[in-house]
Structure 1
Amino acid sequence: MATQVRGIQDEKPWFYTATGLLGDKRDTMLDNQLLLRPELGRPLERGYSVPKSFTFGRPNGLKDGGASEALRGWTSSITLPLHRQKELKTERDFIGLNKAAVQAGLISAPEQYHFRASHDVRRNVATEEKSKTRSRRLPPTMVFGISTRPSTPVFDLLEHKYQDKWLAERRAADLAKRKNEQDTKRTTGKVYETRASLLRTYQNPVEPAPLWQMPRFSRNAHPHLETFRNDNLKTSAFKHHESDGISRKGAFAHGIYEPAKS
C-alpha cells in the first residue's frame, strides 16, 4: 500500500496540494505555499524550485588545511578576509538637473523632460561605512572577558606601605593648605577709613521739600470742626486707636474683634 501511495506521489506531484487528485491541475499550484499540504514525516515545502546540485549553507572562505593540517599543528598566523562592501545604488540628483536646466535656459516642462533624458547627474551617497574603519573578522581563538587581577603584594601590606603613603599625602596636603592661608593673609591688608573717605561716602539726610500749596490755603485755611478739646487728647486718642486696632479686622483696623486663637 505504501509503495502504491509513493508511486502516486511521484507520478502526480499535486497529491499534497489543496485540491489533491481531484479538480484542476496547474503547475503554478506547486509554487504557491498556501495550496501546499504537509507530507507525513517531512517538513512542509515552501514552493521554491531548487536545482539538484544546490548546496545549502554559507561558503567557507577560510581554508585551514583540514585534518592533515590539524595533525601537523595549527598555523599561528591566519589571513582573514575583509568584510565585503555593499554595492550602493546612487540616486539621481534632480536639484542639480533643475539647476543645470535653468542655467541652459530651459524653463518649460517639456524642455526639462528632454534635458533630463539626455543628461544624468547622480548624488554623492554618504554612508556610515566610510567613516568606520574596516575591521577584520575575529579569529576563532579570540578570548573575551576581563583580565585576571594581579596578586596582592603581601610584602607591602606587612610593612604598612599603604598607610605610610596615605600619611605622607595627607601631610603634604596640610602643608600646602597652610602655605596658601599664609599667602592669603599677607596679601589682604586692612584698609583704614579717614575723614575724607567717610565724607565721600556719607551723605547728610535731607528732608524732602513739602508739596506745593496755594498760599491762601496754607495760611488761612482752617478746619471747620474740631472734635478734640486740645492736642493732648487728640494724641492719646490716636494712640489708643493704634493699640486697640491690633485685635480688629480690616486694613485700617476698623472692623470687628477677632476671636482668640489657641
Structure 2
Amino acid sequence: LNQFLARRLIERSRVAETLGEWRGAEAIDHEALEQVLLRVSEMVCELPQLREMDINPIIVDAHGAVAVDARVVIDNAPAGTHDYSHLAILPYPARYQQRWPLRGGGEYTIRPIRPDDAQMLQELVQNLSPESRYFRFVSSLKELPPAMLSRLTLIDYDREMALVAVHRQPDPDRPGEDHEIERVVGVSRYVTNPDKTSCEFSLVVADDFNGKGLGSRLMLSIMEEARDKGLTEIEGLVLANNPGMLKLMKSLGFAIKRFADDPDFMLVTHTL
C-alpha cells in the first residue's frame, strides 16, 4: 500500500461517512487510520512468517487510533527471506539516492520513486502546461487517473525504475515561517522490454524548472541505473514537434531517426 491507496480503501469502506463529523462527534484523525493500514502493509513486507492478522476493534477518534485487540498467526519463515523473495515487488533501492546542485543556486535530490510520492506526482502533472502534458502523455488529460497514478508510483524495481527529482521550498500556505515542503519537479523512468536487454524511457520536468539541468541529470541517472541492471540499450519515442526534448537527446548522444510506424514520432536510441 501507499498513502494514496490507503486513503482510497478508507473512502470505499461502508463506515467512511461516519469518519467525518458525525452526530456531534469530531472528525477522526484520518492520517492515523491511514498509518495503521500502511504499517500493516509494511509488516507483510518485512515479516514473511506472518500468515494472518485480525485487529478488532480499532478505535479511532480525533486524537488517533488504538488497537483494542488483535490476533496474529505466524509460521516458519521460508528460506532465503533476507532478499525479500516472498514479495512480488522488490523493496526500495535507496542506494540510488543522490544530491545535485541546481543551476542558478540551491540543490535537489534524485531518488527512486516511492509509493507515497503519489500526491506529489499528481501535483506535478496538474501543474504542467497543456503542451508539456501532451508531450509526455500524448493526451489532453489534466491529471492522472487513480489506477494510472498507482501504477506509476507502486513499481516493480526489478524490471523498471522511476527516479524523481525532489526540491525543497518554502511552504506557500505558511508565509513568513521557517517551514519547507517537498515538491517533485521531474521524473525519469524506464521499463525493461520483453527482450530483457533493452528498455524504453520517459522523461518529464516541471515547466518552471526547465533550463536548470534537471532533464540531463535525470536522463544520465536513469541510464546509469539501467546499465547497472545489465541492460545494453535505452530507447524512447519523442514527438517530432517536441524540439526541446529532441535537442536534449542529441546533446546526450542519442541517435535520432524517424519512427517507421508513425511519422509523428522520432525514435531515439542510445547504447548503454
TM-score, normalised to structure 1's length?
0.16
Which structure has more helix as a fraction of its residues?
1
Which structure has more strand as a fraction of its residues?
2
Structure number with bigger Rg: 1
